[in-house]
């Protein structure tokens, strides 16, 4: 289980004059600091899928980067199956598979070489790396282009390879930041099938998305972030109950209610 409690993160505004009108009116702007995340809490157990929702600029990506150890929170706590992410980041990284908006692939390496390289970074034995490459290639449909350089890949091919390299070490929690953005229908379906497979294997999955149909198909729990704060944190059924006519209406209702 991953548990997040009262996370907060602020950034220095280097040049206030370059802020847009919308940014100047954001209540999170206080003096020379922009408080991207103010108070975010939620949890995701093994075998659960949690959909992280929120408007653009709400603080979702900053939150996910803190969960991945890429950013250090100013306040709050994160634990993964008893491991404190803030005090034991190296141990925590072994339990986390993280994919950001940037795929993080080396273009001059093949898909196979990228996956092997990330396996080595995690300290995996060669035979375990080979086993995982075979399993993930089968699961994500990578075999036909696995030995081509990644610089020649389509967007969908890059995304699927990036997902494979992010879970090469068999993490206990997978964190995906808008994993289907920019993908065609078939590639997006492959990603969704992968998330379902992680759930079957008992892995907790947290993914941010703007596609509510993905939430309906995949999620057990939903968390909504608005202006850096948790506006909702409960089951999918409880989220749907906010506006039974549609998930879109449930989402808008949550924003209007301000977390009540």
Q: Taking residues 151-161, what's their average pLDDT?
A: 91
pLDDT class of 40 with cuts at 50, 70, 90: very high
> What is the bridge-based pairing of β-strands 221-226 and 49-53?
parallel
Q: Which CATH number fits domain 2-95+172-257: 3.40.50.300, 2.60.120.10, 3.65.10.10, 3.10.270.10?
A: 3.40.50.300
pLDDT digits (tens, 9 = 90+) for 90-105: 999 999 999 886 668 9
**What is the C-alpha separation between 78 and 139, in angstroms, rounded?**
30
pLDDT in tens, 100-147: 866 689 999 999 999 999 999 999 999 999 999 999 999 888 999 999
CA distance 68 to 65: 5
Instruction: Extract the runs of DSSP E, i.e. beta strands, from 54-91.
Output: 75-80, 83-84
Residue 219 in this model has a pLDDT that exceeds 60: yes
State the CB neighbour count (10 A cutoff) for residue 18: 8
Asked whether the beta carbons of 93 and 121 are under 8 A apart, the reply is no
What token pair was written down for 68? Answer: 């991945």
Mean pLDDT value of segment 231-258: 93
Instruction: Return the half-sphere exposure (C-beta side, CA atoms, 13 A cut-off) of residue 69.
Output: 19
Average pLDDT over residues 4-28: 88
Q: Looking at the whole model, is its pTM more than 0.85?
A: yes
Q: With cut-offs at 50, 70 and 90, classify the pLDDT of residue 184.
A: confident
CB atoms within 10 A of CB 160: 26
CA–CA gap between residue 210 and residue 212 (Å, rounded): 6
The predicted model gives 155-159 an average pLDDT of 88
pLDDT band with cut points at 50, 70 and 90 for residue 24? confident
Question: Dihedral of the CA atoms 203, 209, 211, 216 (nearest 10)?
Answer: 30
What is the domain partition of the chain in residue ranges? 2-95+172-257, 105-170
pLDDT, residue 103, reads 66
Q: Is the Cβ–Cβ distance between 26 and 197 less than 8 Å?
A: no
């Amino acid at each position: 289980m991953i548990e997040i409690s009262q996370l907060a993160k602020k950034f220095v505004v280097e040049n206030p004059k370059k802020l847009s009108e919308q940014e100047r009116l954001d209540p999170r702007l206080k003096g020379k600091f922009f408080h991207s995340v103010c108070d975010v809490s939620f949890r995701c157990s093994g075998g659960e899928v949690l959909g992280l929702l929120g408007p653009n600029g709400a603080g979702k990506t900053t939150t996910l980067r803190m969960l991945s150890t890429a950013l250090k929170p100013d306040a709050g706590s994160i634990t993964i199956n008893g491991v404190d992410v803030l005090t034991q980041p190296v141990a925590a990284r072994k339990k986390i598979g993280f994919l950001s908006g940037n795929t993080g692939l080396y273009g001059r390496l093949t898909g196979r070489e990228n996956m092997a390289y990330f396996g080595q970074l995690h300290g995996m034995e060669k035979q375990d790396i080979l086993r995982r490459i075979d399993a993930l290639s089968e699961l994500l449909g990578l075999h036909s282009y696995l030995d081509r350089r990644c610089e020649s890949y389509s967007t969908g091919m890059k995304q699927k390879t990036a997902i494979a390299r992010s879970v090469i070490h068999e993490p206990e929690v997978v964190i995906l930041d808008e994993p289907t953005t920019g993908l065609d229908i078939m590639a997006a379906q492959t990603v969704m099938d992968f998330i379902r497979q992680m759930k079957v294997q008992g892995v907790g999955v947290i993914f941010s998305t703007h596609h509510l149909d993905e939430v309906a198909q995949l999620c057990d729990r939903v968390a909504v972030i608005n202006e850096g704060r948790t506006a909702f944190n409960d089951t999918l059924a409880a989220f749907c109950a906010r506006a039974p006519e549609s998930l879109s209406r449930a989402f808008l209702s949550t924003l209007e209610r301000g977390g009540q």
